[in-house]
Amino acid sequence: MTVRPLPLIACLILTLMVSLGSRQAYQAISQFGANRATADKTQSGHPPRHKHASHLRQSAVDQAPSTELHISLPPANNPTALNDWQQLETALSRQERQQAPILAAQLAESLRQQPDPDVYLRISTHVLHPNEPLANKAILLDLLTDTATPEALNQLLDFADLELDPSLSVLVLQSIARIGDNRWGGQFHEELSPTLEAAWDNPMRNDVEFLAALAKAIASIGAPKGVAQLLQTVSTTNTSQDSEATRRAKQEGAFSAIPQIRNPAAAAALAKGLEQEPIGSAAFDASGRGLASINSPNATQILIDYAKDAPIESSQNLAAWVPQINDEDSLKQFAATPENAFKNPEVGAPIQHAADKYRDNIAATNPVIQHGAKLK
Q: What average pLDDT does this structure show over 252-270? A: 96
CB 136 within 8 A of CB 66: yes
The CA-CA-CA angle for residues 141, 146, 152, to 5°, reads: 65
pLDDT in the model for residue 110: 96
pTM confidence score: 0.79
pLDDT band at 76; cut points 50, 70, 90:
low
In sequence order, what are the residues at sequence separation of 6 or more whose Cβ sits closer than 8 angstroms to the Cβ of residue 21? Answer: none
The CA-CA-CA angle for residues 191, 196, 201, to 5°, reads: 135
pLDDT in the model for residue 72: 47
More confident residue, 235 or 37: 235
Distance CA 347, CA 226 (A): 30
Does the pLDDT of residue 24 top 60, yes or no?
A: no
3-state secondary structure of 13: helix
pLDDT band at 77; cut points 50, 70, 90:
confident
> To the nearest whole number, what is the mean pLDDT of the chain?
82
More confident residue, 16 or 330: 330
| Helix, strand and coil in the chain, % to nearest 5 | 70, 0, 30
Distance CA 210, CA 205 (A): 8
CB 218 within 8 A of CB 226: yes
pLDDT in the model for residue 205: 80
Digit-coded pLDDT (tens) for 102-149 = 999 999 999 999 999 999 999 999 999 999 999 999 999 999 999 999
Does the pLDDT of residue 307 top 70, yes or no?
A: yes
CB 221 within 8 A of CB 192: yes
Neighbours of 17 (CB within 10 A): 15
Q: What percent of the chain has pLDDT over 70?
A: 77
pLDDT in the model for residue 327: 93
Digit-coded pLDDT (tens) for 26-52 = 344 334 433 433 443 343 333 343 333
User: Within 13 Å of residue 335, how many CA atoms lie on the same side as its CB?
Assistant: 17
Q: For the chain, how far is it from start to end, CA to CA, in angstroms?
A: 59
Distance CA 179, CA 196 (A): 11
Per DSSP, 132 falls in state S
In sequence order, what are the residues at sequence separation of 6 or more whose Cβ sits closer than 8 angstroms to the Cβ of residue 96? Answer: none
pLDDT in the model for residue 203: 80
> What are the contacts of 194-199 at 24+ separation with CB within 8 A?
194/223, 194/225, 195/150, 195/153, 195/154, 195/157, 196/153, 196/221, 196/226, 197/225, 197/226, 197/229, 198/2, 199/2, 199/157
Q: What percent of the chain has pLDDT over 90?
A: 69
Distance CA 334, CA 277 (A): 25
User: Within 13 Å of residue 189, how many CA atoms lie on the same side as its CB?
Assistant: 22
pLDDT in the model for residue 184: 92
Digit-coded pLDDT (tens) for 321-360 = 999 999 999 999 999 999 999 999 999 999 999 999 999 8
Does the pLDDT of residue 188 top 70, yes or no?
A: yes
pLDDT in the model for residue 68: 46
